[in-house]
Amino acid sequence: MQFTKAEEYGIFGVLYLAEKDRAVVTPLSEISKAQNIPEKFLAKIFQSLSKSGIIRSHRGVRGGFTLAKDPSEISVKEVLETIQGPYHLMKCLGDFKSCTMNKVDFCPLREILLIAEKRLVSVFDEYTLSDLVKWEKARTAAT
């Protein structure tokens, strides 16, 4: 529900890959060091990302990770949801049954949360990793 370290780390992890050539295999240790992320934590995150087909893993000597698709085809939403599951402002938004109070039939708060969440998630769906990389490059070029 909230923005968590895992998500932040995940984004920066894939972003690091997105900034390189897709063919370059990058070990976890390098990413972890470059982005200041606890290595084991990033490992767990990358495991999920690998399973869901966003990145590809390569074991053995000189192994590591590469992006599985082009950065322009990976939405921010995709990355975030892979890491922490569907983003919900409150559990009941995914399933009305999980309402903690006993609003079995109707809940005005839920209505407004649905609207809010829809707008929120749409932002993450609109942007891709290549957008982020673009912004960063534009910024460093400007200075």
For position 23 contacting DNA by CB under 7 A, the verdict is: no
Stretch that binds ligand SF4, among 23-31, 32-40, 65-73, 98-106 (CB under 6 A): 98-106
The reply on whether position 8 binds a copy of itself by CB under 8 A is yes
The owner of tokens 């990770």 is 65
CA distance linking residue 69 with residue 22, whole number of Å: 8
Residue with smaller CB distance to ligand SF4, 90 or 133: 90
Distances (CA, A) of 70 to 17, 39, 44, 106, 115: 11, 25, 22, 43, 31
> 64 contacts which partner out of a copy of itself, DNA, ligand SF4, none, CB within 5 to 8 A by kind?
DNA
The reply to whether 115 sits near DNA by the rule CB under 7 A is: no
Q: Based on the shown chain and the rule CB under 6 A, indicate whether residue 107 belongs to the binding site for ligand SF4.
A: yes
**Does residue 106 touch a copy of itself according to CB under 8 A?**
yes
Member of 12, 35, 44, 75 binding DNA (CB under 7 A): 44
In single-letter form, the type of residue at position 62 comes to R
d(CA 20, CA 66): 9
Q: Residue 36 phi/psi, 5° resolution?
A: 60, 55
Question: Among candidates 113, 36, 41, 121, which has minimal Cα distance to 78?
Answer: 121
The site for DNA (CB under 7 A) is made up of 1-2, 4-6, 9, 27-29, 38, 40-41, 43-44, 46-47, 50-51, 57-65, 84
